[in-house]
Structure 1
Amino acid sequence: MTTSRKLVTIQTPAPHQGFLGKGHTARAVIDGNFIQSDPFVILMDDMLDKKDGEPAGGPHPHAGFETVSLLLEGEIGDTAHKMKGGDFQMMTAGSGVIHTETIDTETQLRLLQLWLILPKKDRWTTPRVQDLPAAHVPVAIEEGVLLKVYSGSLAGVTSPVKNYVPLIVADIHMQPNARTVQHIPVAYNAFIYVLEGSVKVGADGQTLHKNQVGWFDREDADSDSELIFESIEQGARFVLYAGLPQGDPIVSHGPFIGDTQDDIRRLYNEYWRGKMEHISEVEESQRMTW
């Protein structure tokens, strides 16, 4: 039997000054209890209106998880892995890697970056990076609805991106007064983040507005579920994230995630000793462009 899922939590993350300084506004879409958000650790909505050429950002390490980046507007990244609006990147930090997100020109950008847990057995896997340019993103079209599927399968299309944790990421555009019903496993932890307009969501039609987050109920079962979306007068655009919880406790500190505090100390030691390579220097087989 297919379960019609409903929203159980609605949040409105407040904007705050971002770490890049003047012109950087950040919203913590996820920044809370990992037991509830598993397999999602954090999700930041970063908006930058940079009006000078002073460098911001720079090289930094990660380990023990994956960064999942959807660039909504602008350009970001180094020469080897530059992203433009509509591009998607999944970087598996695994055993430890350095990447660069320097911005040294006047620019406007908006980036959604998710930290996705790795399964415990893959926590220290070999780092890799996958780039999916906007022009190659699988698209599904329904009446009044456009779905861009960046990861996983939805609406009859499948992304080529490889996943350690089963993950769906889709950018969904709805014209005014449109309706769509999408199917995902009921065991997936799922939420949407509204970028534009308003949308009625779930079996009971609760309304989410721009900049709001809605989390769905879930069950530990091997069955299907449906997500119901209905836009209203101004239409809507939102991003759907859905992933399979891993159920393993984690320790998080700074740019690293581990199973224990000893893991965190080891990772800092390896970084300080120069043992982590840059993502642009990993083996060619670990750099994929789809």
Structure 2
Amino acid sequence: MRTIKAQHRAQSAPIADLVTYRALPTNAVQHLDPFLFLNHHGPQVYRPHNRGLPFGPHPHRGFETVTFILEGDIMHQDTGGHQSIIGPGGIQWMTAGRGLIHAEVSSPEFKRTGGPLEILQLWVNLPAKDKMVEPRYIGLQEPEIPHVALDEGRVTVHAVSGEWAGTAGAVTPLADIQLATIDFRQGGQLHLPIPAERTVFFYVIRGRLRVNGQETEARRLVEFNYDGDELQVEALDDAVLLLGHALPFQEPILAHGPFVMNTEQEIREAYQDYQAGKFGTWEE
């Protein structure tokens, strides 16, 4: 079994009236190559006639955003011409590539009625060879994501990308990034082989788990060493886990605001291209 290097508590980082916990980066861990960033929004309940999510138009280049909607919804729009409203259990996978502008706000219906909201956004790096690819966007509702029932139904894997227990995920990413959300009923067990050279991304969204002999709980990011090829997970409560794994790119990472590149010159070029309108023109 892999040994655990550390457990990192997500840090409170509210954005306006949006409850937010930053799991990555923190003072303790900058990134888990190629996983760059994770914000956990909520859980909270919005009143009727609310302002919704505060993420108006903003640019990105050089990485991908993967958004998991547990409760509530997100209305997406970008300068690539993509639009969608994704509800509970759905995901959004946006490849920023060479650059685009997008907005992630709440639907008019959610702003009118309110209700529970819980959303996670993960940033995944792109390898240097793919940083300037054409942007793309995939928005999927919950029924479009394959799920796999394990341990007599006590564990349900929602296969977002890669392969899970022989089932292909809904998204085929540019790099070999495997991602899933996993629902556990108390007592459920998951035994998963992951080659030792791959980075494991293990974030507990809800509940308590025991992984490779150590207990962990909600809003904990578990960092593993590269010294074993098996994860053994047991649910101490009903729980929800965000689990991923990938080969590290082992390339320089230079992040500045909404851009993630390999060199300072590439960051300067990103700002110049954005200001020159090369990310597209925003239209309401």
User: What TM-score range do you get, normalising by the shorter chain?
Assistant: 0.7 to 0.9
Q: Does 1:199 align with 2:199?
A: no
Q: Does 1:112 align with 2:120?
A: yes
Bigger mean CA deviation after superposition, 166-175 or 29-38: 29-38
Q: How does 1:70-85 map to 2 (within 5 A)?
A: 70-78=68-76, 80-85=83-88
Residue 113 of structure 1 deviates from its aligned partner by 0.7
Counterparts of 1:96 and 1:217, CA distance in 2: 34
User: What is the aligned-residue RMSD (CA, Å)?
Assistant: 2.2
Structure 1: gaps (5+ residues): 281-290
Residue 50 of structure 1 deviates from its aligned partner by 3.8
3-state secondary structure, aligned to 1:239: strand
Residue 254 of structure 1 deviates from its aligned partner by 0.8
Q: Does 1:101 align with 2:104?
A: yes
Counterparts of 2:29 and 2:215, CA distance in 1: 25
Counterparts of 2:86 and 2:262, CA distance in 1: 31
1:6 corresponds to: 3
Residue 163 of structure 1 deviates from its aligned partner by 1.4
Counterparts of 1:75 and 1:63, CA distance in 2: 24
Residue 109 of structure 1 deviates from its aligned partner by 1.9
Counterparts of 1:46 and 1:125, CA distance in 2: 29
The count of residues paired between Structure 1 and Structure 2 equals 267
3-state secondary structure, aligned to 2:64: strand
Q: Does 1:248 align with 2:242?
A: no
Indicate the percent of aligned positions where both proteins have the same amino acid: 30
Residue 97 of structure 1 deviates from its aligned partner by 0.7
Amino acid at match of 1:191: F
Q: How does 1:135-284 map to 2 (within 5 A)?
A: 135-142=143-150, 143=152, 144-202=154-212, 205-219=213-227, 225-232=229-236, 234-277=237-280
How far does the alpha carbon of each residue in 1:108-128 deviate from its partner, in whole angstroms, 9 at most, with x for none?
422111111101111111111
Residue 278 of structure 1 deviates from its aligned partner by 6.6
3-state secondary structure, aligned to 1:81: strand
Q: Which runs of 4+ in 1 moved over 4 A?
A: 32-36
Counterparts of 1:113 and 1:11, CA distance in 2: 17
2:25 corresponds to: 31
Question: Are 1:40 and 1:117, in contact at CA under 8 Å, matched by a contact in 2?
Answer: yes
Question: Are 2:145 and 2:160, in contact at CA under 8 Å, matched by a contact in 1?
Answer: yes
Question: Are 1:6 and 1:201, in contact at CA under 8 Å, matched by a contact in 2?
Answer: no
How far does the alpha carbon of each residue in 1:114-152 deviate from its partner, in whole angstroms, 9 at most, with x for none?
111101111111111122321011111112211111111
3-state secondary structure, aligned to 2:70: strand
Gap change, CA 1:255 and 1:132, over 3 Å in 2: same
How far does the alpha carbon of each residue in 1:57-112 deviate from its partner, in whole angstroms, 9 at most, with x for none?
21111001111111111111236122111111211111001111133625342211
Structure 2: gaps (5+ residues): 78-82
